[in-house]
Amino acid sequence: MSGDFKGKRALVVDDYHSMRVTLKELLEELGFSVTEAENGLEGLEKAKADPFDIIFTDIVMPVMDGLELCNEVKTNPNLTRIPVVVLSTHTDASYLVKAIGMGADDYVPKPIERALLLKVVTRLSDGY
């Protein structure tokens, strides 16, 4: 998988280390520099300290879930331009509806498929 995202920065927020590593590897193959966070609060603090070009977040996490993180990003004037992609194993449409309602820019189901990931980041790259 190749991409033209060199110099772009992604934040990956997921409470499962293995999922963070998998997504980090996929994004690095595209050229992204990747920072990880274990929960939404940690992710929000990292985004506030040094904004990213794109944020990927799991929905269900302890401390602060991905929906809350998305809402915090999209209501913060310094962060609102950052695309947020929610990730989840949940196939229940209510999660997707909630995520979009909180401002999510896209949704990628787990397990993450390379082709879909590339399609999503390419579509959202118009914003960064």
Q: Give the pLDDT of residue 96.
A: 79
Fold of the 9-127 domain: Rossmann fold (3.40.50)
Confidence (pLDDT) at 110: 87
Q: Which of 64, 58, 111 minimizes the C-alpha distance to 85?
A: 58
- Segments in the chain below pLDDT 50: 1
Domain ranges of the chain: 9-127
Looking at residue 1, what is its pLDDT?
46
- Nearest Cα neighbor of 59 from 126, 113, 14 is 14
Say what the pLDDT of residue 128 is: 54
Residue 25 token pair = 């590897």
Q: Looking at residue 33, what is its pLDDT?
A: 96
Its pTM stands at 0.92
pLDDT of residue 43: 97
